[in-house]
Amino acid sequence: MIFFTSIQLFNLPFIGTKIGDGTLTPSYNIVYAMQKAYDSVKTIVLDTSIVETNIKNNKVIKKESWKEIYAGPLSYRMEGCDQILIADGTKTLNYDKKSKKGVLKWTNPLASPVLELKSQVDDIYKYGNYKLVGSENLDGIDTNVIKVETEIKKSKVKVRIKTDTYWIDKKTNFIVKHEELNGDVKRIVTYNIDFNTLVNKDDLKPNLPEDVYVYNTFDNMYIFNSIEDAKKASDFDLIIPDKLPTGLKFFNAWKYKKDPNPSNPYNHSIQLCYYNEDYTKVVYIEEFKKGDKILIKISTNFVHGELKPTIDDLKSKYRNIDITLSESSVY
Protein backbone atom coordinates (compact mmCIF):
# COMPACT_ATOMS: atom_id res chain seq x y z
CA MET A 1 0.00 0.00 0.00
CA ILE A 2 1.39 3.41 -0.99
CA PHE A 3 1.07 6.26 1.50
CA PHE A 4 1.57 9.94 0.81
CA THR A 5 3.65 12.11 3.12
CA SER A 6 1.83 14.39 5.53
CA ILE A 7 2.59 17.90 6.82
CA GLN A 8 5.18 19.74 8.84
CA LEU A 9 4.03 21.97 11.71
CA PHE A 10 5.55 25.37 12.43
CA ASN A 11 5.62 27.01 15.83
CA LEU A 12 7.27 30.40 15.48
CA PRO A 13 8.03 32.72 18.40
CA PHE A 14 6.69 36.24 18.58
CA ILE A 15 9.55 38.48 17.47
CA GLY A 16 8.36 41.89 18.56
CA THR A 17 5.50 44.27 19.11
CA LYS A 18 6.36 47.35 17.04
CA ILE A 19 6.70 48.17 13.38
CA GLY A 20 8.30 51.61 13.57
CA ASP A 21 11.61 50.32 14.90
CA GLY A 22 11.81 47.48 12.40
CA THR A 23 10.58 44.70 14.67
CA LEU A 24 7.52 42.62 13.86
CA THR A 25 4.14 42.53 15.58
CA PRO A 26 2.61 39.40 17.12
CA SER A 27 -0.15 39.51 14.49
CA TYR A 28 2.48 39.40 11.72
CA ASN A 29 4.13 36.38 13.30
CA ILE A 30 0.79 34.59 13.60
CA VAL A 31 -0.02 35.16 9.93
CA TYR A 32 3.52 34.26 8.84
CA ALA A 33 3.40 30.99 10.79
CA MET A 34 -0.06 30.27 9.38
CA GLN A 35 1.15 30.75 5.81
CA LYS A 36 4.14 28.46 6.41
CA ALA A 37 1.85 25.81 7.91
CA TYR A 38 -0.43 25.80 4.86
CA ASP A 39 2.56 25.88 2.49
CA SER A 40 3.81 22.68 4.12
CA VAL A 41 0.61 20.70 3.49
CA LYS A 42 1.18 17.60 1.38
CA THR A 43 -1.76 15.49 2.55
CA ILE A 44 -4.51 16.18 5.05
CA VAL A 45 -8.03 15.09 6.00
CA LEU A 46 -10.33 18.05 6.54
CA ASP A 47 -13.94 18.15 7.73
CA THR A 48 -15.66 21.42 6.83
CA SER A 49 -19.02 22.69 8.09
CA ILE A 50 -20.64 25.77 6.51
CA VAL A 51 -23.65 27.76 7.74
CA GLU A 52 -24.83 30.95 6.01
CA THR A 53 -27.41 33.16 7.71
CA ASN A 54 -29.28 36.34 6.82
CA ILE A 55 -28.53 38.55 9.82
CA LYS A 56 -31.67 40.65 9.28
CA ASN A 57 -34.11 37.79 9.89
CA ASN A 58 -31.74 35.07 11.22
CA LYS A 59 -32.89 32.69 8.49
CA VAL A 60 -30.44 30.00 7.43
CA ILE A 61 -29.63 30.43 3.74
CA LYS A 62 -27.23 27.54 3.34
CA LYS A 63 -26.04 24.64 5.45
CA GLU A 64 -23.63 21.98 4.25
CA SER A 65 -20.65 19.89 5.27
CA TRP A 66 -17.77 18.27 3.42
CA LYS A 67 -15.04 15.78 4.18
CA GLU A 68 -11.95 16.24 2.05
CA ILE A 69 -9.10 13.78 1.64
CA TYR A 70 -6.40 15.96 0.14
CA ALA A 71 -3.28 14.60 -1.57
CA GLY A 72 -2.34 17.58 -3.72
CA PRO A 73 -3.91 20.41 -5.74
CA LEU A 74 -4.94 18.06 -8.56
CA SER A 75 -5.60 15.03 -6.38
CA TYR A 76 -8.35 15.04 -3.75
CA ARG A 77 -11.66 13.45 -2.79
CA MET A 78 -14.55 15.40 -1.27
CA GLU A 79 -17.80 13.99 0.04
CA GLY A 80 -20.86 15.87 1.26
CA CYS A 81 -24.48 15.01 2.01
CA ASP A 82 -25.51 15.02 -1.64
CA GLN A 83 -22.32 14.88 -3.67
CA ILE A 84 -18.96 13.21 -4.12
CA LEU A 85 -16.19 14.97 -6.01
CA ILE A 86 -12.97 13.21 -7.02
CA ALA A 87 -10.11 15.07 -8.70
CA ASP A 88 -7.49 12.98 -10.45
CA GLY A 89 -5.01 15.01 -12.43
CA THR A 90 -6.79 17.15 -15.02
CA LYS A 91 -10.17 15.41 -14.70
CA THR A 92 -12.82 15.57 -11.98
CA LEU A 93 -15.79 13.29 -11.39
CA ASN A 94 -18.84 14.95 -9.80
CA TYR A 95 -21.34 12.39 -8.51
CA ASP A 96 -24.85 13.34 -7.36
CA LYS A 97 -26.11 10.87 -4.75
CA LYS A 98 -29.81 11.64 -5.28
CA SER A 99 -29.90 11.19 -9.05
CA LYS A 100 -27.10 8.58 -9.00
CA LYS A 101 -25.52 10.32 -11.96
CA GLY A 102 -22.01 11.58 -12.51
CA VAL A 103 -20.35 14.22 -14.65
CA LEU A 104 -16.74 13.95 -15.76
CA LYS A 105 -15.23 17.40 -16.32
CA TRP A 106 -11.98 19.34 -16.09
CA THR A 107 -10.36 19.78 -12.69
CA ASN A 108 -10.76 23.04 -10.81
CA PRO A 109 -8.12 22.95 -8.04
CA LEU A 110 -9.91 25.72 -6.16
CA ALA A 111 -12.92 23.49 -5.52
CA SER A 112 -10.71 22.06 -2.77
CA PRO A 113 -11.39 23.65 0.66
CA VAL A 114 -7.70 23.17 1.52
CA LEU A 115 -6.58 25.25 -1.47
CA GLU A 116 -9.34 27.80 -0.92
CA LEU A 117 -8.02 28.26 2.62
CA LYS A 118 -4.45 28.50 1.39
CA SER A 119 -5.49 31.18 -1.09
CA GLN A 120 -7.15 33.19 1.70
CA VAL A 121 -4.07 32.86 3.92
CA ASP A 122 -1.81 34.05 1.09
CA ASP A 123 -4.03 37.13 0.63
CA ILE A 124 -4.02 37.91 4.35
CA TYR A 125 -0.23 37.70 4.44
CA LYS A 126 0.29 39.63 1.20
CA TYR A 127 -2.02 42.58 1.83
CA GLY A 128 -1.48 42.98 5.56
CA ASN A 129 -4.98 44.28 6.33
CA TYR A 130 -5.29 42.21 9.50
CA LYS A 131 -5.05 42.76 13.23
CA LEU A 132 -4.89 40.54 16.29
CA VAL A 133 -8.07 41.10 18.32
CA GLY A 134 -7.58 38.56 21.09
CA SER A 135 -7.52 34.88 21.94
CA GLU A 136 -10.24 32.34 22.67
CA ASN A 137 -10.64 28.72 23.69
CA LEU A 138 -12.77 26.86 21.14
CA ASP A 139 -13.82 23.39 22.30
CA GLY A 140 -10.54 22.91 24.12
CA ILE A 141 -8.37 24.48 21.41
CA ASP A 142 -6.46 27.64 22.33
CA THR A 143 -6.72 30.05 19.41
CA ASN A 144 -5.50 33.45 18.32
CA VAL A 145 -8.21 35.59 16.74
CA ILE A 146 -7.41 37.92 13.86
CA LYS A 147 -9.74 40.22 11.96
CA VAL A 148 -9.42 41.20 8.30
CA GLU A 149 -11.36 44.05 6.68
CA THR A 150 -11.60 44.32 2.90
CA GLU A 151 -13.15 47.09 0.82
CA ILE A 152 -15.61 45.81 -1.77
CA LYS A 153 -16.31 48.41 -4.45
CA LYS A 154 -19.97 48.34 -5.48
CA SER A 155 -19.51 51.32 -7.79
CA LYS A 156 -17.12 54.23 -8.29
CA VAL A 157 -18.52 55.98 -5.22
CA LYS A 158 -19.98 53.17 -3.07
CA VAL A 159 -17.76 50.92 -0.99
CA ARG A 160 -18.83 48.05 1.28
CA ILE A 161 -16.60 46.60 3.99
CA LYS A 162 -16.34 42.81 4.20
CA THR A 163 -15.16 41.57 7.58
CA ASP A 164 -13.47 38.20 8.07
CA THR A 165 -12.56 36.82 11.49
CA TYR A 166 -10.27 33.81 11.83
CA TRP A 167 -9.66 31.60 14.86
CA ILE A 168 -6.18 30.08 14.51
CA ASP A 169 -4.97 27.10 16.53
CA LYS A 170 -1.96 28.31 18.55
CA LYS A 171 -0.35 24.87 18.38
CA THR A 172 -0.72 24.00 14.69
CA ASN A 173 -1.25 27.48 13.13
CA PHE A 174 -4.23 26.14 11.17
CA ILE A 175 -7.59 27.89 10.94
CA VAL A 176 -10.29 26.14 12.97
CA LYS A 177 -13.06 28.69 12.42
CA HIS A 178 -13.79 31.46 9.92
CA GLU A 179 -16.61 33.98 10.18
CA GLU A 180 -17.36 36.20 7.18
CA LEU A 181 -19.72 39.16 7.34
CA ASN A 182 -20.57 40.42 3.86
CA GLY A 183 -23.53 42.78 3.72
CA ASP A 184 -26.52 41.03 5.30
CA VAL A 185 -24.99 37.55 5.07
CA LYS A 186 -22.97 35.93 7.83
CA ARG A 187 -21.02 32.83 6.83
CA ILE A 188 -19.51 30.63 9.54
CA VAL A 189 -17.13 27.85 8.55
CA THR A 190 -15.63 25.43 11.05
CA TYR A 191 -12.78 23.04 10.31
CA ASN A 192 -11.85 19.77 11.98
CA ILE A 193 -8.35 18.80 10.89
CA ASP A 194 -7.06 15.24 11.09
CA PHE A 195 -3.26 15.16 11.15
CA ASN A 196 -2.94 11.49 12.04
CA THR A 197 -4.69 9.64 9.22
CA LEU A 198 -2.30 8.51 6.50
CA VAL A 199 -3.68 9.10 3.01
CA ASN A 200 -3.22 6.37 0.42
CA LYS A 201 -4.28 6.06 -3.21
CA ASP A 202 -7.26 3.83 -2.38
CA ASP A 203 -8.77 6.67 -0.33
CA LEU A 204 -9.09 8.74 -3.50
CA LYS A 205 -11.02 6.16 -5.52
CA PRO A 206 -14.66 6.96 -6.44
CA ASN A 207 -16.14 3.74 -4.93
CA LEU A 208 -19.46 4.43 -6.68
CA PRO A 209 -22.31 2.00 -7.43
CA GLU A 210 -21.76 -0.07 -10.57
CA ASP A 211 -24.85 1.22 -12.40
CA VAL A 212 -23.88 4.91 -12.25
CA TYR A 213 -24.39 6.88 -15.45
CA VAL A 214 -21.48 9.25 -16.10
CA TYR A 215 -21.77 12.07 -18.62
CA ASN A 216 -18.36 12.81 -20.12
CA THR A 217 -18.04 16.51 -20.98
CA PHE A 218 -14.78 15.75 -22.76
CA ASP A 219 -16.84 14.09 -25.51
CA ASN A 220 -18.06 17.58 -26.43
CA MET A 221 -14.87 19.60 -26.13
CA TYR A 222 -11.25 19.80 -27.11
CA ILE A 223 -8.50 20.33 -24.54
CA PHE A 224 -5.25 22.06 -25.54
CA ASN A 225 -2.09 21.99 -23.47
CA SER A 226 -0.35 24.80 -25.32
CA ILE A 227 -1.36 28.26 -26.49
CA GLU A 228 -0.04 27.41 -29.95
CA ASP A 229 -2.48 24.49 -30.29
CA ALA A 230 -5.33 26.66 -29.02
CA LYS A 231 -4.53 29.31 -31.63
CA LYS A 232 -4.58 26.73 -34.41
CA ALA A 233 -7.98 25.41 -33.31
CA SER A 234 -9.64 28.81 -32.95
CA ASP A 235 -11.69 30.26 -35.82
CA PHE A 236 -10.68 33.80 -34.81
CA ASP A 237 -7.47 35.51 -33.68
CA LEU A 238 -7.04 34.79 -29.99
CA ILE A 239 -6.14 37.67 -27.72
CA ILE A 240 -3.31 36.57 -25.45
CA PRO A 241 -2.69 38.84 -22.42
CA ASP A 242 0.88 40.06 -21.88
CA LYS A 243 0.52 41.53 -18.40
CA LEU A 244 -0.91 38.89 -16.11
CA PRO A 245 -0.15 38.97 -12.36
CA THR A 246 3.31 37.69 -11.49
CA GLY A 247 3.59 33.92 -11.12
CA LEU A 248 0.67 32.92 -13.34
CA LYS A 249 1.37 30.38 -16.07
CA PHE A 250 -0.74 28.94 -18.86
CA PHE A 251 -2.36 25.67 -17.72
CA ASN A 252 -4.62 24.65 -20.60
CA ALA A 253 -7.35 25.82 -22.95
CA TRP A 254 -10.62 24.23 -23.90
CA LYS A 255 -13.10 24.66 -26.70
CA TYR A 256 -16.53 23.14 -27.22
CA LYS A 257 -17.07 21.05 -30.32
CA LYS A 258 -19.29 22.78 -32.86
CA ASP A 259 -23.02 22.63 -32.19
CA PRO A 260 -25.31 22.15 -35.24
CA ASN A 261 -27.23 25.17 -33.97
CA PRO A 262 -25.41 28.11 -35.62
CA SER A 263 -26.68 30.56 -32.98
CA ASN A 264 -24.88 28.77 -30.13
CA PRO A 265 -22.31 31.36 -28.91
CA TYR A 266 -19.93 28.59 -27.82
CA ASN A 267 -19.41 27.66 -31.47
CA HIS A 268 -17.05 30.63 -31.65
CA SER A 269 -15.43 30.66 -28.23
CA ILE A 270 -12.42 29.37 -26.36
CA GLN A 271 -11.28 29.52 -22.73
CA LEU A 272 -7.70 30.02 -21.54
CA CYS A 273 -6.79 28.88 -18.01
CA TYR A 274 -3.89 30.29 -15.99
CA TYR A 275 -2.73 29.16 -12.52
CA ASN A 276 0.10 30.04 -10.21
CA GLU A 277 2.61 27.40 -9.14
CA ASP A 278 0.67 26.06 -6.14
CA TYR A 279 -2.77 26.38 -7.81
CA THR A 280 -4.16 28.88 -5.29
CA LYS A 281 -4.62 31.72 -7.79
CA VAL A 282 -6.39 31.46 -11.11
CA VAL A 283 -7.43 33.55 -14.09
CA TYR A 284 -9.92 32.14 -16.60
CA ILE A 285 -10.20 34.10 -19.84
CA GLU A 286 -13.16 33.18 -22.02
CA GLU A 287 -13.25 34.73 -25.49
CA PHE A 288 -16.29 34.90 -27.78
CA LYS A 289 -16.36 36.12 -31.35
CA LYS A 290 -19.52 38.12 -32.04
CA GLY A 291 -19.49 39.78 -35.43
CA ASP A 292 -16.51 42.11 -35.57
CA LYS A 293 -16.20 42.16 -31.78
CA ILE A 294 -14.38 39.89 -29.35
CA LEU A 295 -16.17 39.54 -26.01
CA ILE A 296 -13.80 38.68 -23.17
CA LYS A 297 -15.03 37.35 -19.82
CA ILE A 298 -12.39 37.19 -17.10
CA SER A 299 -13.02 35.19 -13.92
CA THR A 300 -10.50 35.22 -11.09
CA ASN A 301 -10.04 34.84 -7.35
CA PHE A 302 -7.76 37.89 -7.25
CA VAL A 303 -9.79 40.48 -5.35
CA HIS A 304 -7.46 43.45 -4.88
CA GLY A 305 -7.37 44.90 -8.37
CA GLU A 306 -4.44 42.81 -9.62
CA LEU A 307 -6.17 42.37 -12.99
CA LYS A 308 -6.45 46.12 -13.68
CA PRO A 309 -3.04 46.32 -15.45
CA THR A 310 -4.04 43.31 -17.57
CA ILE A 311 -7.35 44.86 -18.59
CA ASP A 312 -5.85 48.32 -19.20
CA ASP A 313 -3.15 46.77 -21.39
CA LEU A 314 -5.68 44.82 -23.46
CA LYS A 315 -7.89 47.87 -23.94
CA SER A 316 -4.92 49.95 -25.08
CA LYS A 317 -3.94 47.40 -27.73
CA TYR A 318 -7.31 46.28 -29.10
CA ARG A 319 -10.25 48.41 -30.16
CA ASN A 320 -12.65 45.60 -31.02
CA ILE A 321 -13.01 44.06 -27.54
CA ASP A 322 -15.49 44.25 -24.67
CA ILE A 323 -14.20 43.03 -21.28
CA THR A 324 -16.15 41.97 -18.20
CA LEU A 325 -14.43 40.99 -14.95
CA SER A 326 -15.77 38.74 -12.18
CA GLU A 327 -13.68 38.52 -9.02
CA SER A 328 -14.02 35.65 -6.52
CA SER A 329 -16.23 33.78 -8.98
CA VAL A 330 -14.20 30.68 -9.69
CA TYR A 331 -15.20 28.35 -6.85
How high is the pLDDT of residue 149? 86
**Residue pLDDT, tens place only, 66-93:** 999 999 888 999 999 999 999 988 789 9
Say if residue 274's pLDDT is above 80: yes
**Residue pLDDT, tens place only, 32-71:** 999 999 988 888 999 999 999 999 999 999 999 999 999 9
Amino acid present at 290 = K
How high is the pLDDT of residue 286? 94
For 139, other C-beta atoms within 10 Å of its C-beta total: 9
How high is the pLDDT of residue 328? 65
How high is the pLDDT of residue 104? 93
Q: Is the pTM of this model over 0.85?
A: no
**Residue pLDDT, tens place only, 109-161:** 778 889 989 998 988 888 877 899 999 999 999 999 999 988 766 556 567 78
Q: Are strands 282-290 and 83-88 parallel, antiparallel or unpaired?
A: unpaired
Residue 237 φ then ψ, to 5°: -70, 115
How is 227-294 classified by DSSP, letter by letter? HHHHHHH-SS-----S-PPTT-EEEEEEEEPPPSSTT-GGGGEEEEEEE-TTS--EEEEEEEEETTEE
How high is the pLDDT of residue 150? 80
Q: Give residue limits of the domains in the chain.
A: 26-201, 225-327
* Greater model confidence, 110 or 7: 110
Query: Average model confidence (pLDDT) for the chain?
Result: 85
How high is the pLDDT of residue 83? 92
**What is 26-201's CATH number, 2.130.10.10, 3.50.50.60, 2.50.20.10, 3.10.450.710?**
2.50.20.10
d(CA 91, CA 76): 11
**Residue pLDDT, tens place only, 278-304:** 899 999 999 999 888 999 999 998 877
Among 6-10, 43-47, 263-267, the range of highest mean pLDDT: 43-47
- Residues 8-13 have a mean pLDDT of 39
